[in-house]
């Protein structure tokens, strides 16, 4: 193992000296998001971003020399000796932060976290949640922002530059992004469908539809009466659902049209860009918060809201000892931050070289987590209202039944016999009657509060049922589904952008304009996503949701930590961060990158496999005759599809390394991005770092720059390439 690590490290060091960047097309990968700064015009953020100097031989570089330190409002501004005048960057720090928050904050924050919190111990769940945030969430978020800002490339270019043996990490991220984009846009299509339906004078899921007979008589739809109107509208009207995944029935043209509209909107967003005008990102990133705030003030004023919040946050301390709770906390942190997709690396590569990526990582990560908590408060205040309304309606039905039986009001404190039992009742005038006890509904507020759901069940069944009881329900429905749409489209944009970037990086179609490439990709995705637009489409969606991203992303994140800690080198990485931010990452972050975060990834991965092996895996199929869902196991062909989805994503990591050993080059990366190391050292006043005793004991970092686990794997510290 030591010899292999030595070979990889030598190859990495050699290529880091000679490589140029992944082709000038890499600089265009997010052109729609970036703005040119021409004729030396300056701004408070983009003007100091000297990130885009293209040092390829066939580029025309316009350079100007200036002092290293300027000033703005009394603060020093970093200006390298030689800088490119024509360059691109985020137009402001706020634009970058909003784009990153919009990418990280998605539908899972609204419909997954509240369910997990109340399911796994309420307030007690926050303890494993924030511990997993500290040891895996923020450290990997920080790592991706820092490595992207330092090497100034997308995911494929970054990991190929760390080591050609690790180039498969970037390809795997791109494949996962493609698979996730396929099914994620289906959610956006569902939101669009509900959004359009919300403009009717009466919400179509407010009550059961009627079934008419030839003689003019009618009855309420039986499938609806044994379930609920919101369940019927979701399963029968929207999904046109089949009994199981093996019997896809009628083609769902309504959802097919919604999918076409969703893909057109995604294409228009990607073609127009966000940061070029600065308008779209300000809407898509901030609108969900505006709606959540509106729903918050509406929710806490509703009857029963505090019962919902009590149910959400009342701690069950014994759950902390349950390993499944820790598994779900770690999984939620990992996926809600959007780690390992490659989007964060691409975003940070367009920041100024002296941007404080540490502060950004902490800020965005905490924003993401507190958004989840705020969304939980909003959701459960409204679920509390819904549960209270159902509970009070149940009590009214129960009291009316007893009043009809007894003939007078009955105290709620009286205890009645079981159903079908004869009993005597004595009235105030001394009369005694013998009665047969009828069936009474069981009214339990806690049981109603516990009937929450996650994912589509929360958004399209539970929440819509609560909205039905609002005055002006149409307005609240429009607002809610517009919020879900903006949450989804923001994340979808960043996910699909990673696929486009990867195709550009790999030079698969070097002469194809980005606009056409994006259009062709969206068209292909739209055609494939029609597999979700039939009776069994929602079951296929669950398959993709459960397996296309989860396991591959955990594996990718594990190898990202390995790549930085054991191949690129912790000392080199810490030196780079010190050059960019002016402060060196503490021992805690180094411990996380080298030990804790990889261990957390492996633990979640192994625990997930064990959970599947013990409990099995399947999907919930709708049974129309019962008005409920029943768990079904995956058929053989679905299991084969699951294995294929996982293998297609992760096989690039070992495949690229093996191919490199045999001289097969998947990524032809011969350029290196510009990075003003000397200027940054002078600007921050950085002196050579002396290896501490703690670093030697914990990471085996030696004075000559070598490091590893009990054996040197890195023999010479390469000076970073500077702008010439």
Please give the annotated binding residues for Na(+), written as ranges.
102, 104-105, 109, 336, 368, 487, 490-491
Binding residue numbers? 102, 104-105, 109, 336, 368, 487, 490-491
Q: Find, among 486, 464, 482, the residue nearest to 473 by Cα.
A: 464
Classify residue 349 by its DSSP letter: T
255 vs 215, 230, 302, 390, 474, CA distance in Å? 33, 17, 34, 31, 21
B/e letters for 170-198, b = 16+ CB within 10 Å, e = fewer, are: bbbbbbbbbbbbbbbbbbbbbbbbbbebb
- Work out the burial of residue 52: count CB atoms within 10 Å of its CB; fewer than 13 is exposed, 13-18 middle, 19 or more buried: buried
Contact indicator for 125, 133 with CB cutoff of 8 Å: no
Residues in the chain: 724
Q: What is d(CA 502, CA 523) in angstroms, rounded to the nearest whole number?
A: 17
Q: Find, among 586, 585, 593, the residue nearest to 567 by Cα.
A: 593
**SS3 (DSSP) at 721:** coil
CB atoms within 10 A of CB 480: 24
Q: What is d(CA 61, CA 147) in angstroms, rounded to the nearest whole number?
A: 25
Compute, in degrees rounded to 10, the torsion defined by CA atoms 682, 688, 694, 700. Answer: 120
**Residue with tokens 């703690």, as numbered in its chain:** 694
Q: What is d(CA 24, CA 27) in angstroms, rounded to the nearest whole number?
A: 6
Pairing of strands 82-84, 75-78: unpaired
Residue 241 has which token pair?
């659902």
SS (H, E, C) 417-453: CCCCCEEEEECCCCCEEEEECCCCCCCCHHHHHCCCC
Phi, psi of 210 (to 5 degrees): -100, 150
Q: What is d(CA 467, CA 447) in angstroms, rounded to the nearest whole number?
A: 20
Residue 298 has which token pair?
């509406």
Strand partners, 219: 211
**Residue with tokens 């096989």, as numbered in its chain:** 651
Phi, psi of 629 (to 5 degrees): -100, 150
411 vs 13, 414, 422, 425, 438, CA distance in Å? 83, 6, 19, 13, 17
Q: What is d(CA 92, CA 702) in angstroms, rounded to the nearest whole number?
A: 40
Contact indicator for 289, 110 with CB cutoff of 8 Å: no
Residue 658 has which token pair?
């093996």
Query: Which H or E element spans position 184?
Result: helix 167-197
Q: What is d(CA 491, CA 681) in angstroms, rounded to the nearest whole number?
A: 36
Contact indicator for 713, 6 with CB cutoff of 8 Å: yes
């Amino acid at each position: 193992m030591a010899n292999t690590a030595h070979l990889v490290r030598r190859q990495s060091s050699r290529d880091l000296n000679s490589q140029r960047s992944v082709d000038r097309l890499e600089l265009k990968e997010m052109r729609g998001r970036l703005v040119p700064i021409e004729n030396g015009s300056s701004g408070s953020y983009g003007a100091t971003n000297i990130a885009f100097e293209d040092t390829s031989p066939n580029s025309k570089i316009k350079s100007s020399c200036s002092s290293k330190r300027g000033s703005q409002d009394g603060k020093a501004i970093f200006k390298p000796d030689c800088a490119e005048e024509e360059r691109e960057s985020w137009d402001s720090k706020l634009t970058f932060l909003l784009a990153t928050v919009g990418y990280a904050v998605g539908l899972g924050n609204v419909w997954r976290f509240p369910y997990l919190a109340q399911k796994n111990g309420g307030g007690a769940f926050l303890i494993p949640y924030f511990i997993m945030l500290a040891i895996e969430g923020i450290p990997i978020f920080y790592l991706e922002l820092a490595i992207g800002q330092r090497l100034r490339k997308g995911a494929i270019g970054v990991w190929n530059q760390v080591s050609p043996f690790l180039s498969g990490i970037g390809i795997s991220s791109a494949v996962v992004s493609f698979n996730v984009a396929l099914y994620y846009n289906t959610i956006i299509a569902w939101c669009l469908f509900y959004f359009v339906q919300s403009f009717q004078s009466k919400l179509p899921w407010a009550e059961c539809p009627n079934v008419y007979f030839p003689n003019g008589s009618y009855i309420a739809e039986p499938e609806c009466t044994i379930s609920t109107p919101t369940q019927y509208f979701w399963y029968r009207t929207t999904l046109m659902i089949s009994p199981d995944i093996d019997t896809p029935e009628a083609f769902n043209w309504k959802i097919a049209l919604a999918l076409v509209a969703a893909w057109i909107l995604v294409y228009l967003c990607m073609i127009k860009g966000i940061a070029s005008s600065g308008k779209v990102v300000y809407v898509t990133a901030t609108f969900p918060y505006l709606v959540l705030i509106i729903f918050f003030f509406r929710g806490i004023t509703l009857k029963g809201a505090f019962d919902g919040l009590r149910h959400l946050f009342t701690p069950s301390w014994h759950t902390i000892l349950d390993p499944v709770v820790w598994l779900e906390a770690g999984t939620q942190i990992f996926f809600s931050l959007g780690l390992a997709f490659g989007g964060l690396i691409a975003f940070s590569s367009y920041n100024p070289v002296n941007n404080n990526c540490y502060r950004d990582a902490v800020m965005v990560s905490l924003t993401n987590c507190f958004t989840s908590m705020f969304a939980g408060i909003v959701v459960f205040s409204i679920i509390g209202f819904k549960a209270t309304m159902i509970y009070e309606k149940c009590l009214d039905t129960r009291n009316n039944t007893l009043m009809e039986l007894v003939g007078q009001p009955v105290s709620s404190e009286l205890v009645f016999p079981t159903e079908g039992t004869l009993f005597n009742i004595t009235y105030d005038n001394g009369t005694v009657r013998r009665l047969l006890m009828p069936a009474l509904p069981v009214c339990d507020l806690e049981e109603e509060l516990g009937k929450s759901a996650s994912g589509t069940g929360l958004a399209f069944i539970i929440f819509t049922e609560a909205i039905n009881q609002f005055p002006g329900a149409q307005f609240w429905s429009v607002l809610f589904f517009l919020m879900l749409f903006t949450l989804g489209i923001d994340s979808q944009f960043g996910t699909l952008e990673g696929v486009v970037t990867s195709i550009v990086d790999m030079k698969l179609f070097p002469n194809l304009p980005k606009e056409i490439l994006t259009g062709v990709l969206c068209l292909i995705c739209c055609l494939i996503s029609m597999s979700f637009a039939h009776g069994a489409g929602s079951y296929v969606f669950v398959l993709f949701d459960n397996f296309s991203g989860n396991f591959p992303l955990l594996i990718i994140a594990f190898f990202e930590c390995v790549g930085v800690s054991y191949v690129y080198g912790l000392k080199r990485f810490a030196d780079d961060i010190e050059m960019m931010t002016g402060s060196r990452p503490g021992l805690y972050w180094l411990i996380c990158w080298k030990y804790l975060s990889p261990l957390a990834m492996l633990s979640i991965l192994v625990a997930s496999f064990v959970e599947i092996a013990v409990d099995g895996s399947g999907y919930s199929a709708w049974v129309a005759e019962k008005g409920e869902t029943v768990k079904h196991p995956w058929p053989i062909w679905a299991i084969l599809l699951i294995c294929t989805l996982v293998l297609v994503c992760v096989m690039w990591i070992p495949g690229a390394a093996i191919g490199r050993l045999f001289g097969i080059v998947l990524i032809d990366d011969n350029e290196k991005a510009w990075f003003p190391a000397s200027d940054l050292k002078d600007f921050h006043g950085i002196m050579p770092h002396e290896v501490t005793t703690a670093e030697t004991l914990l990471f085996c970092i030696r004075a000559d720059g070598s490091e590893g686990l009990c054996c040197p794997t890195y023999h010479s510290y390469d000076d970073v390439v500077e702008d010439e």
